[in-house]
Structure 1
Amino acid sequence: MTPAAPPQITVAIATLGPRASQISLPPPRPGLCYLVMIQRAPDPLPHSDRPDLTYIALDSLGLSRSRNAALDACSTPYLVFADDDMQLETGGLCQLAQRLTEAPHLDFVAGWRHERFPTSGARAQPHRLRKSNAGRICAPELMVRMAPVRRAGLRFDPEFGVGAPYPVGEDYIFICDMLDAGLQGEGLPIVTGSHPAASTGEHWDDAQLLKARRRVLSRCFGATAGLITTAYVFRHRKRFAGWKDAWRFWIG
């Protein structure tokens, strides 16, 4: 009997405490394995007979620290990040991995959540990812090639993400850091999962989140952040509660 090929894709799912036992995973699929990264882990850890599933207890807190632990623990060529309340599309994840396999010049790729999948325009076609068009990417849309990410020493910034002082922006910052390190990425019209509930980053009526968004722009654009912030305010002007909030955002 021919032994099964080793998995190529790790799906790292961040969770907290008892939520780990409530995660709904797709049926096993060749080539994929799952790491459930549990902060505030229960004792004992959940048990599963699935050979493609591993639970890892963490002594850290914060989404970015969980993502960094996944970067350390991953033993496959490709890694995709996910949260514990998403429905994953394994076919889409395999398509992302296939693109990385076919295009060795690419270091990361991004698909779409079902709820935001574009039906027209430039983003409905394969496109090169830049800071100007990567702001919408989040879990489980981002897949990275582990070798170049590790060579570049890239990590998620623990100051950002749920459980951190600035609770949004960790995925975008990581993408910007990859781009600044010379890595190349591509956006693809591929569905990788579903997340019907509103994510943290979709709330525009929370002063703390607005402050965090402003800090993300400063973190990613440095000396040019003022110009980028002006364009950002204009683009999202209808999402602010009013021009007073927009002004406060612009001045930081």
Structure 2
Amino acid sequence: MSALLTVAVAVFGERIAAVRDWAFDSRVQYLLLWQRPGEDRGGWPDNVTVLPLDTVGVTHSRNAAIDHCATPWLWFMDDDVALPATSIDVLLAELPQRLENEILIASVLLPDGRAMKRQPDGLRYNRRHILTVGTIQIIAQSDWLRRHAVRFPLRLGAGAIYPVCDEPVFLARALRAGARISHLDRVTVVHPELRSGQQFARPEFVRARAIAFYEIFGVPLCLIASLYFWARHARRIGARWPALFHYGKAG
């Protein structure tokens, strides 16, 4: 039986050594998008493909995954997470029944088992809900993404000039193309705990929100979104607040 799912892992430089310790599930295809590659020692399982990339920026890896995925479904992943075997079990059972959804959103757990991001099962996502989704939660129909030319923004995301907010822009583009996005609570991924203070550390982090709000909501709603975000986080944003109103294209 052909595989239903590709897990596409964004890997940078020497971090590929950590991925070698993964327990690769034989029922799933894996695509390692390796930026700043070194020498590949080989020895990967037959269901693992390593694709060296000469680009920098995680959204380049995500878009390469869309272009090279050879299975009906694609799950975007990072090299610092863990995929419970039970999540693969549930997902492979659910995917044939979820064809009405172009995109599914998984839940995120912390290493101690606490939920970091969780929504009610079956929640239908809109522009407001997508603001808190991380890339490792996104499971999409690969052919649908290609047919509708839905791609990640190249100016946003880790390694880009504006290091955050690539996920909601990607999902906003999918919504505009007609995607039906639903939550699948029983599928989880384990992520290390985040240090929230980093998200306001530099003006680029703050301006990323402005760029995302502009693409997601358009004018004038992007201004309202910026004002609301500023009201909630004014102390941490501090003197960087003008960047929150510096709109532009996401690329």
TM above 0.5, yes or no, is: yes
2:174 to 157, 172, 178: 178
Kindly state the Cα deviation for residue 247 of structure 1 after the two structures are TM-superposed.
4.9
Per-residue Cα deviation, 1:9-64 (whole angstroms, up to 9, x for no partner): 11111111221122255423242121111111113x23124112111111211111
SS at match of 1:28: coil
- Read off the aligned partner of 2:77 and give its amino acid letter: A
Aligned counterpart, 1:101: 96
Kindly state the Cα deviation for residue 8 of structure 1 after the two structures are TM-superposed.
1.2
Aligned counterpart, 2:84: 89
Q: In the superposition, relative to structure 1, how do residues 160 and 108 fare at CA in structure 2: closer, same or farther (>3 Å)?
A: same
Q: TM-score, normalized by length of structure 1? A: 0.85
Q: In the superposition, relative to structure 1, how do residues 209 and 52 fare at CA in structure 2: closer, same or farther (>3 Å)?
A: same
RMSD between superposed Cα atoms in Å = 2.5
* Fraction of identical pairs, as percent: 24
Aligned counterpart, 2:228: 231
Tell me the number of residue pairs that the alignment of Structure 1 and Structure 2 aligns: 242
Between the aligned partners of 2:11 and 2:236, the Cα distance in structure 1 is: 35
Query: Is the Cα contact below 8 Å between 1:100 and 1:106 reproduced in 2?
Result: no
Aligned counterpart, 2:154: 158
Q: In the superposition, relative to structure 1, how do residues 35 and 221 fare at CA in structure 2: closer, same or farther (>3 Å)?
A: same
Between the aligned partners of 2:234 and 2:75, the Cα distance in structure 1 is: 32
Between the aligned partners of 1:200 and 1:15, the Cα distance in structure 2 is: 23
Q: In the superposition, relative to structure 1, how do residues 33 and 199 fare at CA in structure 2: closer, same or farther (>3 Å)?
A: farther
Query: Is the Cα contact below 8 Å between 1:156 and 1:174 reproduced in 2?
Result: yes
Q: In the superposition, relative to structure 1, how do residues 118 and 193 fare at CA in structure 2: closer, same or farther (>3 Å)?
A: closer
Kindly state the Cα deviation for residue 249 of structure 1 after the two structures are TM-superposed.
5.1
Between the aligned partners of 1:88 and 1:181, the Cα distance in structure 2 is: 29
Kindly state the Cα deviation for residue 240 of structure 1 after the two structures are TM-superposed.
3.7
Query: Is the Cα contact below 8 Å between 1:13 and 1:84 reproduced in 2?
Result: yes
1:143 to 139, 145, 152: 139
Aligned counterpart, 2:8: 12
Between the aligned partners of 2:99 and 2:28, the Cα distance in structure 1 is: 20
Kindly state the Cα deviation for residue 95 of structure 1 after the two structures are TM-superposed.
2.7
Q: How does 1:1-252 map to 2 (within 5 A)?
A: 5-23=1-19, 26-43=22-39, 45-115=40-110, 117=115, 123-198=119-194, 203-223=199-219, 224-234=221-231, 237=232, 239-241=233-235, 244-245=238-239, 247-248=241-242, 250-252=244-246
- Read off the aligned partner of 2:229 and give its amino acid letter: Y
- Read off the aligned partner of 1:185 and give its amino acid letter: I
Divergent runs of 4+, >4 A: 199-202, 242-247
Per-residue Cα deviation, 1:129-164 (whole angstroms, up to 9, x for no partner): 111112221132110011211110111111111121
In structure 2, runs of 5+ residues without a counterpart are 247-251
SS at match of 2:41: coil
Between the aligned partners of 2:8 and 2:117, the Cα distance in structure 1 is: 28
Q: In the superposition, relative to structure 1, how do residues 214 and 228 fare at CA in structure 2: closer, same or farther (>3 Å)?
A: same
Q: In the superposition, relative to structure 1, how do residues 102 and 242 fare at CA in structure 2: closer, same or farther (>3 Å)?
A: closer
In structure 1, runs of 5+ residues without a counterpart are none
